[in-house]
Structure 1
Amino acid sequence: MKKRLFKTFALVFFSAILLLNITSVNTFAFPNICSEGVYLMDAKTGQVLYEKNSDVQYMPASTTKVMTAIIALEKCNLTDQVTIGENPPKADGSSIGIEQGEVYTIEELLYGLLLESGNDCAEAIAEHVAGSIEEFAKLMNEKAKELGSTNTSFKNPSGLTEDGHLTTAHDLALIMRYASQNPDFVRISQTPSYFYENHPYSNGNEKWASNHNPLLKENSAYTYKYAYTGKTGYTVAANHSYAAVAVKDDQEIVGAFLNATDKDGLYTGVGQLFDWGFENFKTEKIVTTGDKLDDYQIDDSTTIPLLADDDVYYTFNLANGENIDNINLSVTYENKDLSKTSIKKGETLFNASLLINGNKICDIKLDSGESRKYTAEVAVKNTVNSITNNKYFIPGVITGIILIIIIIIIILSIRKRKRRKRFLARRSYIRNKHNF
């Protein structure tokens, strides 16, 4: 009986251990990623969470329109009127059916651009902003370089296949990250559908733009509850592409996916990869603006607290056991002599490096926590302090006192001898005079 109970207990125990291990593996299991180029990054810190062929160039297809929207939002007002020219209605591929001579606002074109992925809307925006597709592409490439997307070359605003129209997963993630910081981009990209009340089709039918982002659409097989914004893309040459941002609690993750031949595999894997990112990484604020990071010693009697000029976030790799409780923060900076300088509270004193456990994670500015005026009085005080604090000062003073005493003794001795000599001379004179 006891043996049977022992065997039963052992079986339950080891089954529980096995179940816990399986659960742990599933929690941190890495999903199957169908895209050839992938880049997953934390939006706040820019830290890469996962990458695959992230610097290999691929055709972006309609994820190009993320940059087109950025340029439109930064160069125009949403209410700007755009008169449709001859070329945009002839654009190949997806469209909302704009016609020459019609007048749309920039906002209406952006709905068509981001929801329906309208190539006609893309070309209309390009001609309105820059006069031509070629000139607009220059603006796109300039902005890409500004964002650090240095392996990107845009040839058109829509993403239609064209020689040299290329980007990388890394570059596309940077562009998507930037776009997600624009509230109008997010608002428009999240809209389920938009009704063009003043622009029916030529046959009188209502015109709508519907959101085709599978992670944001309700009743989609790929609906993802943490999806925040994104843009799909597809051409025969480029295959499927996708750029998106997911937000869970205070964590934001950006993903870029290029050259996926399996649409179902792509959009199934995207949500799973975001979940993997949320489970394995945690971004927390490690420095708050105004935190004291060091003390700068001006002299032996004066120190100035050095304060953080900005908030700093850090992405912890939970799978590796990293957490905010086991870090040591420090700063390094090039020392300089400020002893003869007036300092204002809040003034930036140093460009420093912020280190975690001895490893640099970012640059940070250090501001003065106090004001300090350098006046003539301070200069005299510093001079006196400099002299008195010198290690040779006390021995020098003692030596000086001894020398003065010796000199005084010598002088007194000389004077005494002179007085003695004068006294003897006078006595001798008196004796001689009186014939003593």
Structure 2
Amino acid sequence: MRKKSWGLLALAAGLLLGGFLPRADAETTEPAGTPPAVEEPEVVSEAATLIDSETGTVLYAKNADEQLYPASITKIVTGIIALENTKPDEIVTVSKEARNEDGTRIYLEEGEQLPMGKLLYGMLMNSGNDAATAVAEHIDGSKEKFAERMNQFVQDKIGTTSTHFVNPSGLPDPAQVTTAADMAKIASYAMKNETFRKIVSTKTMPWDGQVWKSELVNHNRMLWDYEGANGVKNGYTTEAGNTLVTSAVRDGMELIVVVLQAPGNQQAYDDTRKLLDYGFAAFAKQTVISAGQTFEVQDGAEPVQWQADQALTAVVRKDETPEATVRPDGQVTLRTKFGDQPIGRLTAKVEQKTAKDVHASSVGSQLDSTSDSGGSTMQKVVWYVWLFQLLLFALWFRLKLKRRRRY
């Protein structure tokens, strides 16, 4: 009887520990293999940056805040302003000043009339300075007045800090300056306009002007030479050197590269290709905050709670765990080597809850995904240990009763 009781005890313990307690392979997963680190490329351009187009997160920067001459990438601003303030079928009449503009042209004639939409193709694909002047004069009467609009637009609507324009085309002027960081913001903003995206991704287009009948060929070679390239604009003057803004899409990520003052045309393309290759190899889009997650943050003496209506994603290094912070105003920032960068905002404020119902304000996606399961697992273990002790006591008590009956 004693052997039978102890056998029953061992069987019960085995069932309890083996069948009821959480299995190690179900609750604990081996960490995924860390991908090999991808080194940042060496670029020869004076300034360069790489960003995620959706959030503006900086992934690479070299002298990104240095003021340099933009050359024809200026026309990105002229184009997006025109798209937001005119209609494609508006008729533009070419002035004498536009007709005689310096630099690259699409050979407009004085008095020639074209729809705004067609003019923008000539400006953004073929980099026509005459087209840029015609656009500016149509909107504001003069290049100078239009330049004032450009400056207000990029500062107030896009948030640039070190860019100043004096003409709509990018012709040399000591006061016409920008930075790689500002131009990346400008390009990201412009690429959110579907018509702009269509124009800058067009490779060729027939051109039937009053005196020039030809085919427009987009000057941006990346459209032909790089998989996923879909824009944006190149430029060159002796003073500016080669400038290039490029957008490319792969694996659901759209990246933007800006290079300024490259020593040559080929170097500008080589630097851009290196940075895009680096971006797609080293970074991936990850979910930083899941839909429905709730956060409590301290706003002075009072806690404020926010809930994510939808998942919030960001482009982060594949070999790193993203670390995000929710601010009292609902802004979510991602910690990177370039500092804390905003990646989005939570929109739903929720009623005050107890501390057990909310997450901490500073979170990493890996911690968020495991914190609940870790807490519940510990709670289960405590209950199972308590039940196991209760079972042992019951078996011991039964064994003791049988011994008394025996004697």
Same fold (TM over 0.5): yes
Shift of 1:91: 0.3
CA distance in structure 1 between the partners assigned to 2:111 and 2:291 by the alignment: 53
Aligned residue in 2 for 1:256: 258
Measured after TM superposition, the shift of residue 41 of structure 1 is 1.1
For residues 66 and 104 of structure 1, the distance between their equivalents in structure 2, rounded to whole angstroms, comes to 20
Counterpart Cα distance in 1 of 2:116 and 2:288: 40
For residues 101-148 of structure 1, the C-alpha deviation after alignment (integer angstroms, 9 at most, x for no partner) is 111111111111111100000000000011000010011101110212
TM superposition outliers: structure 1 runs of 4+ over 3 Å: 29-32, 288-296, 329-333, 352-357, 359-366, 368-371
Deviation at 1:228, TM superposition (A): 1.7
Q: Which amino acid aligns with 1:61?
A: A
Percentage of pairs with the same residue: 34
Please give the alpha-carbon distance, in whole angstroms, between the structure 2 residues aligned to 1:240 and 1:168. Answer: 14
Equivalent position of 2:399 in the other structure: none
CA distance in 1, matches of 2:326, 2:193: 33
Structure-2 change in CA distance of 1:366 and 1:70 (3 Å):
closer
| 1:64 CA drift (Å) | 0.4
Equivalent of 1:322, from 313, 320, 323? 320
TM-score with structure 2 setting the length: 0.70
Give distance in 1, aligned partners of 2:221 and 2:316: 30
Q: Cα gap change, 1:271/1:89 in structure 2, threshold over 3 Å: closer, same or farther?
A: same
Aligned counterpart for 1:180 among listed residues 191, 194, 201? 191
Choose the corresponding residue for 1:216, options 209, 215, 223: 223
- AA aligned opposite 2:169: S
**1:313 Cα offset (Å):** 2.3
Counterpart Cα distance in 1 of 2:340 and 2:266: 41
Could you say which residue in structure 1 is the equivalent of 2:86? 76
1:115-264 to 2 correspondence within 5 Å?
Answer: 115-146=125-156, 147-197=158-208, 199-201=209-211, 206-217=213-224, 223-264=225-266
1:333-371 deviations in Å (ceiling 9; x for gaps): 4xxxxxxxxxxxxxxxxx3354779x9764734525689
**Local SS of the residue matching 2:330:** strand
3-state SS of the aligned residue for 1:77?
coil
Correspondence for 2:330 = 352
Name the SS of the counterpart of 1:109 in structure 2: helix
- Selected match of 1:88 from 98, 106, 109: 98
CA distance in 2 between counterparts of 1:287 and 1:281 reads: 17
Deviations 1:28-52 (A, max 9, x none): 2443312101111111222211111
Distance across 1 between alignment mates of 2:266 and 2:223? 15
In structure 1, the partner of 2:313 is: 313
Secondary structure of the residue that 2:213 maps to in structure 1?
coil
CA deviations over 1:252-297 (Å, ceiling 9, x no partner): 111111111122122122112101011112222323554444599x
The aligned amino acid for 1:230 is V
Secondary structure at the aligned position of 1:87 is classed as helix
Q: Unaligned regions of 5+ residues in structure 2, if any? A: 1-34, 299-303, 353-407
Decide whether the 8 Å contact of 1:309 with 1:364 is kept in 2: no
| Higher RCO structure, 1 or 2 (CA under 8 Å, sep 6+) | 2
Distance 1:134 1:273, change over 3 A: same
Moved more, 163-172 or 287-296: 287-296
- 1:34–1:262 CA contact under 8 A, matched in 2: no
Give the Å deviation of 1:314. 2.5
Aligned residues: 311
**C-alpha separation between the residues in 1 aligned to 2:239 and 2:131?**
22
**Distance of aligned partners of 1:237 and 1:309 in 2 relative to their CA distance in 1, 3 Å threshold:** same
The 3-state SS of whatever aligns with 1:237 is coil
Which amino acid in 2 is paired with 1:216? Answer: L
C-alpha distance in 1 between matches for 2:227 and 2:248:
9
Where structure 1 has 5 or more consecutive residues not aligned to the other structure, the ranges are 1-23, 218-222, 297-303, 334-350, 372-436
Paired position in structure 1 for 2:273: 271
C-alpha distance after superposition, 1:169-188 (max 9, x if no partner): 11111111111111111101
Instruction: Decide whether aligned partners of structure 1 residues 316 and 295 sit closer, same or farther in structure 2, where only a CA change above 3 A counts.
Output: closer
The answer to whether the 8 A contact 1:213-1:230 is kept is yes
Identify if the C-alpha distance between structure 1 residues 156 and 354 changes in structure 2 by more than 3 Å, giving closer, same or farther: closer
| Residues 314 and 107 of structure 1, relative CA distance in 2, 3 Å threshold | same
The higher radius of gyration belongs to 1
Q: Is the contact made by 1:354 and 1:360 (CA closer than 8 Å) also made in structure 2?
A: no
Q: Which moved more, 1:188-197 or 1:241-250?
A: 188-197
Q: CA, structure 1 residues 79+281, in 2 after alignment: closer, same or farther (shift >3 Å)?
A: same
For residues 36-75 of structure 1, the aligned pairs below 5 Å read: 36-75=46-85
Amino acid at match of 1:322: E
Matches for 1:286-297 after TM superposition, within 5 Å = 286-288=288-290, 290-293=292-295
Whole-angstrom CA distance in 1 between matches of 2:247 and 2:230: 5
